[in-house]
Chain A
Amino acid sequence: MKWQLTGLLRLDAKQAVRDPMLGLALCAPVLLLIVLRFGLPAAGQLLEAEFGIQLVHYEPLLLAFFLQLVPLMLGMLTGFVMLEERDERLIGCYAVTPLGKRGYLVYRLLLPFILSLLFTAILLLAGGLGTPSAAESAAAIMLYALQTPLFALVLTAWADNKVEGLALSKAAGITVFTPAAVAFIPWPWQLAAGVIPSYWPVRLMMGGVENGGADGWLHSPLSTVLMGLIVTGGWLVAVFAVFERKVEHR
């Protein structure tokens, strides 16, 4: 399957030049980093001057928010590429090549997933904000990046066309507010947000700070990671099933 993948990669490189959005996918995380490093301190001074609010208290919240933007952007981007390929019946064409439908999916979803891993790691390391321990950070990066293929599949599985895709991506955009749920909704109630995959990496990022010092196995990083894997995995399996049916019927 190796040569087919490199073939697709070459095709995408060409596409990136023709359809500059794919190029933007690579620039956007760089922009995020610039905003995080330079925009945020400026905004911090402003908030302190205007409202007397110290941004330092909200650092974990802001970092969690910025990190969530990475899988959201890359996932939506991939989703729209796949949506258009599905509408043009290209997925069916790929399916009958030696690459196969599985190979197509692996390729389409693996690349943005790896990019997400890379970009979240860079944002975390170079963002200049405090981070949790190395092991917790690594787990959070994984849970963030796993949402990239999920967003892409959600778009392709549920949207009948690109207009519905836009409405869906708008709705999916609310996942960037999960950090606010973790920070502001009191403990047992915020668990309701746990059905959203982004809740779990956010909890890892914002750690014990927001728990009001509560203990118990539910608060341990390990159970948070496990819950994150279960919730995200569950979503992936469910959405994949819908996707399969949708592509079959076209």
Chain B
Amino acid sequence: MPGAPIFFYDIKLQVRHGFYTAYGLVCGIYILLLYVMPASMRETVNVLLTFSDPSALGFFFIGGLVLLERGQGIYDSLFVTPYRLEQYLISKTLSLTLLSVLSAVLIHVSVFGFTAGAGVLAAGTAFTSVFFTLLGLGVAVKSRSVNGFFFLSSFYSLPFMLPLLSYGGFIGAERWLLGWLPTWGSLVLLKSAFEPTAAGMLIQACLVLAFWSVLAFWWARRQFARYVLAAVGEGIQ
């Protein structure tokens, strides 16, 4: 695989910047939290925790990564090498997705043991992470500061939080109302770690997530070309 060395380099960079240490700590706290809470809530909380944290960590971190690399002027020289933009995007996305999946599985397995559900949970986390990291990347290239990124990203991510309203039956028939959103698919996959889910639902969830991930890839590539590559060589910060 031509992009493999850069993928491992990205992981090394993330280790050095303390991502793995931070998530080790965060996972430890989540595991502790799940242990001390009433057993009847554990499964729901595990789904919601995985959805809101490990699955979306790429969204959180990619902003800083892009801003830092741009500030250091890395892009000026990076894309004159045979290294392609697509490889860059894929490597960034997959390396952060790896951390997502490792954290989600660590939390789940520590509390519930090695269940068959851990597999679907990992798949749901991976899909969600790919989508959110690419979304974050597209937002990050527009931002000038980390705080600006947080601000912008809250607007971009808000519509995708709608499927959370399905909790407690705030709205009925959410499969038809919200079933086209990627995060609906994420919740279906994550929940299916604990309850039997119809094959049709799982297929719809995977299709929706795959579709949005491809869309997010296309969008991130376009945003990158527009905001970063067009400015390469101008020496902007």
Contact = CB atoms under 8 A, between A and B. Distances in A.
B209 to A, nearest CB: 25
B26 interface: yes
Contacts of B37: 180, 184
A188 interface: no
A51 B64 contact: no
Contacts of A83: 146
Contacts of A81: 145, 147
A51 B40 contact: yes
Q: Which secondary structure dominates chain A's binding surface?
A: helix
A162 B41 contact: no
Contacts of B154: 24
Given A171-B25, A171-B26, A166 B151 contact: no
> What class of interface size applies to chain B in its complex with A?
35 or more
B151 A20 contact: yes
A23 B18 CA distance: 29
A236 interface: no
Contact of A177 (B18, B33, B60): B33
Contacts of B119: none
B62 to A, nearest CB: 10
A163 B68 contact: yes
A220 interface: no
Interface in A66-96: 77, 80-81, 83-84, 87-88
A150 to B, nearest CB: 18
A195 interface: no
B36 A162 contact: no
Interface string B135-179: 000000000111110110010000000000001100000000000
A211 B41 CA distance: 24
A168 B65 contact: no
B64 A21 contact: no
Contacts of B65: 163
A173 interface: yes
A20 B61 CA distance: 20
Interface in B50-76: 57, 60-61, 63-65, 67-68, 71
Contact of A164 (B18, B44, B148): B18
A185 interface: yes
A12 interface: no
Nearest to B40: A51
Interface string A166-210: 111011011001001000110000000000000000000000000
A161 interface: yes
B26 A173 contact: yes
Which one of B21, B29, B65 has the highest number of Cβ atoms from chain A below 10 Å of its Cβ?
Answer: B29
A170 B71 CA distance: 22
A80 B151 CA distance: 13
Q: A-B pairs with the 4 shortest C-beta distances?
A: A21-B147, A46-B168, A167-B18, A184-B36
Interface of A: 19-24, 46, 49-53, 77, 80-81, 83-84, 87-88, 161-168, 170-171, 173-174, 177, 180, 184-185
5 contacts: A21-B148, A50-B44, A52-B40, A166-B146, A167-B22
